Amino acid sequence: MLGYNDKLNDVIDYCISNAKKKGATDVEVGIVKSTSETVSFRNKKLDESDRSENIGLSLTAYINKKKTSVSSSNLKNNNLEKLIERCVEAAKITPEDENNSLPEEKLFFKNSDELDIFDKTHLENNQKIEFLKEAEEVAFKNKEIVNTNGSSFSESKTEIVLANSKGFKNGYKSSNFVAYCEVVSKNNGSMERDYEYTSKRHFEDLMKPSELGSNAAKFAIRKLKPRKINSGKFDVIFDKRISKNFLNYFSSAITGSSIYRGTSFLREKLNKKIFLEDINIVDRADIKRGNGSKYFDNEGVKIENLSLVNNGVLNDYLIDTYYGKKLKITSNGRSGGTTNLYFENGKQDLKDLMKSNKKIFYVTETIGHGTNIVTGDYSVGAGGMMIENGEFTYPISEVTIAGNLTEMFSKMVLANDLQFNYSTNSPSILIDNMTVAGK
């Protein structure tokens, strides 16, 4: 066992034993306890300070193939007694589904190497304030920066305990530190805003406040005096802050539920080539200090490291117990989704991609959610920079980029600038001959 609060352990045992006494054939109980402290800053002054403590219990009762779930934040025995009774009674009148069950015992997480995802470091409010103050002061050293649109620093600690009536019981702690700085630039009547963001499991791994403020200012200043461009076909490079969104679309399209229901543009694409040969996509839960790392999934199943795409070929789906049974595929520990999902690095420098055509649209911002996972149709508002002869020349705003993810996936070219800043990470991506609608 990884270790967890004994009081939570007692609550778990109480729920399982009492639900069984009331007629449940199987039971699953999960508890998530979290503490979060956030300081918000605006224009070099404290704007808001907030602390929250939350605890939530989820209880699932099975009566053979019938299943019902309930949740509560009240862990007192008298409330738990009512909760358990309500859950079991509801299960009795729930229609049967032959795919309802706990995972097989052989799939349960048992042990692993230490992932180092908990940092006991605690920052007092004045330390958080000093961090943000330094970031904003660095940003304001640029004369074009006239205001901030809000900066924040958050520190959170989370404890997870999960158990079921088949004998699985385990838990772990995790931490997360997040700093954000957004600034406003102005020059000759033109005003723009942009941001920098950093998120890590350990405080010491965060981007330094000076870099946070400097980057936010640089990004906001380069957007000043944007131009509109004529509609046409352009090669497009997606900055790595934006290109990671393609992995979000990809993962949504390969979940067990989407595949089973046929609501995915990647249905019937298993073992088929959907990217260029040198593209690989990996999902790993065991990266030390990884933002998405965890020991087991939401059902207690060991999380398999997945080579989702290898040499351009789709190798696997994201499978939990329920949809695994429907698809006749064993769960690979993806109840709750992906962990650390990323494109492996490409072979070309970003500078080389920038020189691959005389004019390239470099996207630094997208607006809207115009992506249809069923059809793969893609349409978003965008802004960024024009690249001419390998150099950034002027900012661009108010355009729309359109295409279809099937075609876009098939011709993506990856740079070699991958960084692990989020739980989903991507290098910069070049896609040629895209439709860009401007003026």
Q: Mean pLDDT for each consecutive 10-residue tract of the chain (439 residues)?
A: 70 96 97 96 88 97 97 94 97 97 96 93 95 95 92 96 96 96 93 96 97 97 94 96 97 97 96 97 97 97 97 98 97 97 97 96 91 96 96 95 97 97 97 93
Cα distance between residue 17 and residue 164, in whole Å: 10
What is the pLDDT at residue 2?
53
Q: Which residue from 39, 202, 218, 206 is spatially nearest to 138, judged by alpha carbons?
A: 218
Considering only the C-alpha atoms of the chain, give the largest distance between any 2 of them, rounded to a whole number of Å: 74
Q: Which CATH code is given to the segment(s) 6-36+52-107?
A: 3.30.2290.10
pTM of the shown model:
0.95
The DSSP annotation for 194-259 comes to: EEEEEEESSGGGSPPHHHHHHHHHHHHHTTSS-B----EEEEEEE-HHHHHHHHHHHHHHTBHHHH
Neighbour order of strands in the sheet with 190-200:
66-72, 45-63, 26-42, 145-164, 169-187, 190-200
Where do the domains of the chain lie? 6-36+52-107, 227-439
pLDDT given at position 368:
83
* pLDDT score recorded for residue 1: 42
User: What per-residue confidence (pLDDT) applies to 433?
Assistant: 95
Q: What local confidence, expressed as pLDDT, does residue 6 receive?
A: 75
